[in-house]
Amino acid sequence: MSNEFREVLETFENQFPQRDYQIEIRCPEFTSVCPKTGQPDFGVLTFDYVPDGLCVELKSLKLYLQQFRNAGIFYENVTNTILDDFVAKVSPRRVVLTAEFSPRGGITSVITARYEKSA
């Protein structure tokens, strides 16, 4: 799944690679499917990253995330898969991906995954 999905992500050249600056992208309409019940899962994804040579192109990120709409995948797996794909395509200096999922059965989940480029 991941390699096919990853191909949708596009980037553009960072015009200020000499500077550490932070980009926050909030995606409030993320959906996937619970692999146990087949019910939809709804979440808010927040990417907080410091670019290096590249930045993510937003329309491609939207199209990439939409591919998960019918994918049966656990919260933890989808969060880490998305982070891995983001890092593989964008190669940021650092990124934190926070996935806040809507309540199901009175329980909410927040999954946070991090990556930092080795010096």
Contact between 20 and 50 (Cβ < 8 Å): yes
Determine the Cα–Cα distance for residues 22 and 66; give it in Å rounded to an integer. Answer: 24
Instruction: Enumerate the β-bridge partners of residue 24.
Output: 48
What does the block give as tokens for 48? Answer: 């907080």
The question of whether 27 is a catalytic residue gets the answer no
Which one of 20, 27, 41, 84 is the catalytic residue?
Answer: 41
Q: How many residues are there in the chain?
A: 119
H/E stretch holding 107 reads strand 107-116
The question of whether 55 is a catalytic residue gets the answer no
Which one of 27, 34, 48, 52 is the catalytic residue?
Answer: 34
Q: Could you list the active site residues?
A: 34, 41
